[in-house]
Amino acid sequence: MLNDETMKAKFLSHGHAKELFDSIEAFIFDCDGVIWKGDTLIDGVSQTLEMLRSKGKKLAFVTNNSTKSRRQYAKKFHSLGISVPEDEIFCSSFAASMYLKSINFPQDKKVYAFGEEGMLEELELAGYTGLGGPEDGKKVVELKANSLFEHDKSVGAVVVGLDQYINYYKLQYATLCIRENPGCLFIATNRDAVGNMTDLQEWPGAGCMVAAVCGSTEKEPIVVGKPSTFMMEFLLKKFNVTSSRMCMVGDRLDTDILFGQSAGCKTLLVLSGVTTQSILQDPSNEIQPDYYTEIQIQAEKTGFKPKETKVFNIVFVGNAMLCEIHRCGS
C-alpha cells in the first residue's frame, strides 16, 4: 500500500498540463476508452491530436485489441475522421507476429490463431501460415464415442487474443496443439479482463480467452501486449528519444499505466474508460500514474483553432486536458 503522498497521482491542472507538455517529445495513446469507445470517437480527440502534431509532438497508438491489423486500424481512424499512418499504430496482433520474428520462429511451422481476422493478416504479413481465425468460429464439435479430434501437428505456436467467435472447437484445437505438439508456444496478445468494445458497455476481454486456454493446458502464456514492454522496444526505435521524454496516455492502470511506468515513461490516466476515480484512489491500489484527469472537467470546449492566439488552448482526449500556454500578442 502506498502511504507516501508524493507518490500519489496528481490531478492534471493547468500548471501540470504545461509542465507535462513541455517535457514530452512523444505521446503514446491507448485506443479503446481513450480515442474511441466502440465505433464512437471520444469528444475532443481530433482537436487534441491536431494540436500535438502542429507543435511537433510525435504520436503513436498502442492497443491491446488484436481483432484488427495495423491496416484495419488505419482504416478505422480514417472512418472517424482522423488520418493516422500505419507506422504510428502498434496493435497486439502486430506484436505477436513481431515476437515470432524476433525469436526466429521457423517459417515452415504454422501458427494457430485463436482470434480474429486482424491476427491472421499480421501473421501473413510477417510471412507465417496462420490457421483458425473466424472460420473456426463456425465449426461445431460432436462429442461422440470413439471420435478423435484431429489437429495439425505442424503448428508450432498458438496465439490467443480477443475473439468474439470463441467456441469449444477453438478451445480444443488450441489445447491439443499446446499439449501435444513438441515445443509449441503459447502466446497471449494480452490479459485484459474487459474492454470498451461498444460505447455503452464493457465486454469480456482477451484475458477471458487466455484464461480458458490456461485452464485446459495448465500452462502460462508469453504475453506480448501491454503491460509487457515488448512493444516499447519498437516505439523507442521509432521515436529515437529516451523513455523519460515519452508519455503513455491510457485508461487502464494494470496495462496502460504499468506499461509506461515499466519503461520509464511519464503516465497520464484518463477516466473515460475502464478505470474510475474510486478505483484509482482506493487505498489498495498500488499503481499510481504521474497524472490523472477527472471524468468531467469544467472548462470551455470551443474547438481548437491552430492559428488562434489564446492565453490557454485547452483540448481534450478521453476527457483529459492538455493545455499549452501562449503569450498574448505573440
| 282 annotated to bind ligand | no
| 76 annotated to bind ligand | no
Write out the E strands in the chain: 10-11, 26-29, 36-37, 40-41, 58-63, 89-91, 110-114, 129-132, 155-160, 185-188, 194-195, 203-204, 222-223, 246-250, 266-270, 291-293, 312-317, 320-325
32 catalytic? Reply is: yes
The cell numbers describing 223, all together, are 504475453
| 256 annotated to bind ligand | no
Concatenated DSSP letters of 110-139: EEEEES-HHHHHHHHHTT-EEEEGGGGGG-
Mapped onto helix, strand or coil, the DSSP state of residue 307 is coil
| 290 annotated to bind ligand | no
Which one of the listed residues 4, 32, 39, 87 is annotated catalytic? 32
First to last CA, the chain: 47
4 catalytic? Reply is: no
- Among residues 216, 222, 16, 247, the alpha carbon closest in space to that of 99 is found at 222
Ramachandran angles phi, psi of 129, nearest 5°: -90, 115
Which one of the listed residues 30, 136, 256, 290 is annotated catalytic? 30
Does 221 sit behind a cis peptide bond, omega within 30 degrees of 0 on the bond before it?
Answer: no
Positions at the binding site for substrate: 226
Positions at the binding site for Mg(2+): 30, 32, 251
**Could you list the active site residues?**
30, 32
Positions at the binding site: 30, 32, 226, 251
